[in-house]
Amino acid sequence: MANLLFLALAVALLLVAVFSLISYIRDRKKQKFTFKKDASGNNVRGTSTR
């Protein structure tokens, strides 16, 4: 009986970890670090939304 509970807990934690990884990857893909030129012509990294 205890083995089934630990197995269910392990599966639940694995699902949470996979969901977090997918969410992290999607968030990283949405961030675009574009380079813009400032007034003096130097490249300046754009600000992210975070």
Question: How do residues 2-44 score in pLDDT, each as one tens digit?
Answer: 999 999 999 999 999 999 999 999 988 888 665 566 667 676 6
**Contact between 20 and 28 (Cβ < 8 Å):** no
Q: Is the model's pLDDT at 47 over the cut of 60?
A: no
* pLDDT value for 29: 84
SS3 32: coil
Q: How many domains does the chain have?
A: 1
Which pTM value belongs to this model?
A: 0.57
Give 3-state DSSP helix, strand, coil % of the chain, rounded to 5. Answer: 60, 10, 30
Rounded Cα distance between 40 and 38, Å, is: 6
Q: Is the model's pLDDT at 50 over the cut of 60?
A: no
Range of the domain at 15: 1-31
| pLDDT tens per residue, range 25-36 | 998 888 866 556
Does residue 21 lie within any of the structural domains? yes
Enter the tokens of residue 31: 């961030």
Question: What is the chain's alpha carbon radius of gyration, rounded to the nearest angstrom?
Answer: 21
Does residue 18 lie within any of the structural domains? yes
